[in-house]
Amino acid sequence: MTDDDAVAELQGIRQSIDNIDAAVIHMLAERFKYTQRVGYLKAAAGMPAADPSREQIQVARLRALAAESHLDPAFAEKFLNFIVAEVIHHHERIAVGEM
């Protein structure tokens, strides 16, 4: 393989990575639309922002999905924990009328 061939292949791979990144961002935006609706429902019903039992179920589910997909389950859990922390923050802000 020549350097030019490697550069061309690298550009193609990077374009695929960029496309996946864009899809991930769009999917996260869609997910947050729904979690925001959950936040408004919880606030209206006087429910707490966090739901530890739901979070445990989600962690187990995503760890299993990660393992099936040959992705490190610990990484998947960290990623989910990051998202859940942001969702809870949004729910707390909704509950006090900041969103």
pLDDT at residue 99 tops 90? no
Q: Specify the number of domains making up the chain.
A: 1
Domain span at residue 67 reads 3-95
Predicted local distance difference test score (pLDDT) of residue 53: 97
- Tell me what the pLDDT averaged over the chain comes to: 96
pLDDT single digits (tens) 58-80: 999 999 999 999 999 999 999 99
pLDDT at residue 42 tops 90? yes
Q: Where are the alpha helices (DSSP H) in the chain?
A: 3-45, 52-68, 73-95
Q: For 70, phi and psi rounded to 5 degrees?
A: 60, 40
Beta carbons within 10 angstroms of residue 72's beta carbon: 12
Provide the CATH number for the domain around residue 28.
1.20.59.10
